[in-house]
Amino acid sequence: MAGPEELPLPVLTLLRLSGSARREQRPLVVLGGPETSAVRDLALPVAELLGDAVDLVAWDHPGRGYNTARPETPPTDADLAAGLWRVLAEVRAGRSPVWVLGTGRGGAVAAALAAGHPDVVAVPLADDSPRGVTGAVRTAVLGEETAPLAAPAVRPDRGQRREALLLAGVRTPFGRFNGALAGQRPDDLAATALDAVVRRVPGLEPAQVDDVVWGCANQAGEDNRNVGRMAVLLAGWPTAVPATTVNRLCGSSLDAAIHGARAVESGDAAVVVVGGVESMTRAPWVLPKPARGFPAGDVTAVSTALGWRLVNPRMPQEWTVALGPATEVLGERYGISRARQDAFALRSHERAHAAWEAGFYDDLVVPVPGVDLARDEGVRPDVDLDRLARLAPAFTPSGTITAGNASPLSDGAAAVVLADADAAARLGAAPLARIAGRAVVGVDPPDFGFAPVLAADRALARSGIGWDRVGAVELNEAFAVQALACVDAWLARGLRDPALVNDRGGAIALGHPLGASGARLLATLAARLQASGERFGVAAICIGVGQGLAVVLERL
């Protein structure tokens, strides 16, 4: 074991403490997370669920979250326990006992700390989801026999706060890279989606839209200078209708929906159109300016279609690994085979084709003027496992990710109308769903593929429900291996059936035009809930550079 001055100190990343006068009155709960991710993604929803019942402290392992320490010799559980006891000295404030618990290696450290200190009680966990952690604390620490969760009712009393209702959603067909939509500018695609979505709401005129929030991941070419505003003007809407463009990479249009929902809920707007666009085909090459005038050597033009470019040299190299190789590591970590990935990809094509044949997408997809494309161009009804198995690995010679089990580069646009209840009534529109919860999380950049798990945990906690009540999931399939890692984690958290995920196909078949995918997920989820009669659904998406988004819908 390391000496006292050499201890690798865990770093406290969340302190939810009462004032000093009341501190001794509340139990102190210490939470550690797994060694593979930052603890805040678990601790924040736990803190929200527990409210003021306890004082909560969370800590990060060395090299994770806010803990930048990288000891040469890996610390033992006992080392981390001793270091944690030191950093807890001030917040303990003489309280006894101190309740400690954790997930993954955080649980092992909790046990080691309890073994060495009679004032510490380790709380065992049967469920490491936020709701499971909360239930364990309420049972063991607060003595609640039935472990009720401190979750709000499905329809809490919000006072003057409005609810954001989803009235309609549409999208264009998604085209393949250099495919049928290659001749369409992204601002024109966006205008098509805007024009179509307002036509889906009886009585809604463009002049009644209070704001447009639009997503786009590139913005380096024809989608520059606020493509949302350009789309409003190209659609022929009144110049009085404002618009903004947001960029959270692959999650841009789901982020736009979150921004739009906040505007409605706060009363800043009654009707907001949200959505996004991407033309990966028409993404330009960019030529960086030289540091000095008249360079003597060659200068390389950089493609802006996808991935890291023009990277700041101060960025840690391990954070700038390309999306594909980073996801290969995810597959190795969770033991997801090539065969499972290919089977998942085949299922995506089969479900997408079946949904088109059954007419599910007929009301969700609108044609692009002047383009002969009625369906998503990437759906391959003729694909089979043998053909998928023959494809070579795309990123590493021994890898499992191929062009067949990853989403393709795509072009397309999608839009959704959000409104408050008063506006919906004035328009004579029957809302499809309400936004019941949403969340955004950050993780280490290479771990981006797993971020939807953490985002969904937090969004569900804010909605006051668990996975057992979720009847539909729309998860963006950036890669089959990434999607499978998320589905496996959700099953462990209580998702009833993996078939609830993307049962109308996903991005591997339909396509992934980065800025449009989030709005596609949201519109598809609302339509699935209406078709199935299920009450709650989750839309989630992973985002390069280490982020994830999730939105919970309740069918109305």
Give me 392's structure tokens.
């070579």
Report the C-alpha gap between 248 and 258 in whole angstroms: 12
Report the C-alpha gap between 550 and 490 in whole angstroms: 13
250 is an active site residue: yes
Report the C-alpha gap between 351 and 530 in whole angstroms: 18
> Which of the following is catalytic: 216, 259, 349, 542?
542
Backbone angles phi, psi at 265, to 5 degrees: -65, -35
Peptide bond into 295 cis (omega under 30): no
Report the C-alpha gap between 345 and 383 in whole angstroms: 9
- Angle at 211 (CA atoms; ends 210, 216), nearest 5 degrees: 165
> In terms of DSSP H, where are the helices of 155-277?
186-199, 227-234, 252-266
Report the C-alpha gap between 505 and 495 in whole angstroms: 18
Report the C-alpha gap between 141 and 112 in whole angstroms: 19
Full DSSP string of 297-335: S----EE-SSS--S--TTS-GGGS--HHHHHHHHHHHHT
512 is an active site residue: yes
What residue type is 345 in one-letter code? A
To which residue do tokens 């493509």 refer? 227
Within 10 A of 306 (CB to CB), how many other CB atoms are there?
A: 20
Report the C-alpha gap between 65 and 414 in whole angstroms: 34
Report the C-alpha gap between 75 and 264 in whole angstroms: 49
Backbone angles phi, psi at 460, to 5 degrees: -65, -40
At a CB cut-off of 8 Å and minimum separation 6, what does 208 contact?
A: 271, 423, 427
Report the C-alpha gap between 207 and 210 in whole angstroms: 8
Give me 304's structure tokens.
């802006």
Report the C-alpha gap between 523 and 536 in whole angstroms: 14
Q: Rg (Cα) of the chain, in Å, rounded?
A: 25
* DSSP at 22: T
Q: In Å, how far are 34, 264, 460, 463, 554 from 154, measured between CA atoms? A: 30, 19, 11, 7, 9
Q: Are 500 and 540 in contact (CB under 8 A)?
A: no
> Which of the following is catalytic: 61, 349, 353, 512?
512
Region class of 279: left (phi > 0), else alpha (psi between -120 and 50), else beta: beta
> Which of the following is catalytic: 61, 216, 250, 486?
250
Within 10 A of 267 (CB to CB), how many other CB atoms are there?
A: 11
Per DSSP, the three-state class of 122 is: strand
Report the C-alpha gap between 479 and 341 in whole angstroms: 8
> In terms of DSSP H, where are the helices of 433-541?
451-463, 480-493, 507-510, 517-532
Which residues form the catalytic set? 250, 512, 542
